[in-house]
A and B are shown apart, each in its own frame.
Chain A
Amino acid sequence: MRWGVVSFPGSNDDLGTLHVLRDVLGHEAVPLWHKSSDLAHVDCVVLPGGFSYGDYLRCGAIARFSAVMSAVSEFAAHGGLVLGICNGFQVLCEAGLLPGALVRNRSLSFVCREATLRVESVANPFVNMALVGDVWRIPVKHGEGCYVVDEATLDQMERDGQVLLRYCRPDGSRAREGEDASDYNLNGSMRDVAGVMNATRNVFGMMPHPEHGADASLRDVSWPDAGVPDGLRVFQSIAGWVADMGQRAAVDSMR
Chain B
Amino acid sequence: MIARVFITPKKGVLDPQGRAISSSLHSLGFGEVADVRMGKYLEIRLDPAQGDGEPEGRVRAMCERLLANGVIEDFRFEIDREANGRSEHDA
Contact = CB atoms under 8 A, between A and B. Distances in A.
A90 to B, nearest CB: 10
A176 B14 CA distance: 20
B72 A108 contact: no
B49 interface: no
A171 B67 CA distance: 42
B71 A108 contact: no
Interface residues of A, number: 20
B69 A108 contact: no
A103 interface: yes
Contact of B16 (A94, A99, A105): A105
A103 B66 contact: no
B13 interface: yes
A148 B14 contact: yes
What band does the interface of chain B fall in when counting residues whose beta carbon is under 8 Å from A? Answer: 10 to 19
A108 B14 contact: no
Contacts of A57: 66-67
Nearest to A99: B71
Given A101-B72, A103-B14, A148-B72, A108 B66 contact: no
B13 to A, nearest CB: 6
Given A57-B66, A61-B66, A103 B20 contact: no
Contacts of A65: 66
A141 interface: no
B71 A101 contact: yes
A149 interface: yes
A52 to B, nearest CB: 15
Nearest to A93: B71
Interface of A: 57-58, 61, 65, 93-94, 99-101, 103-108, 146, 148-150, 188
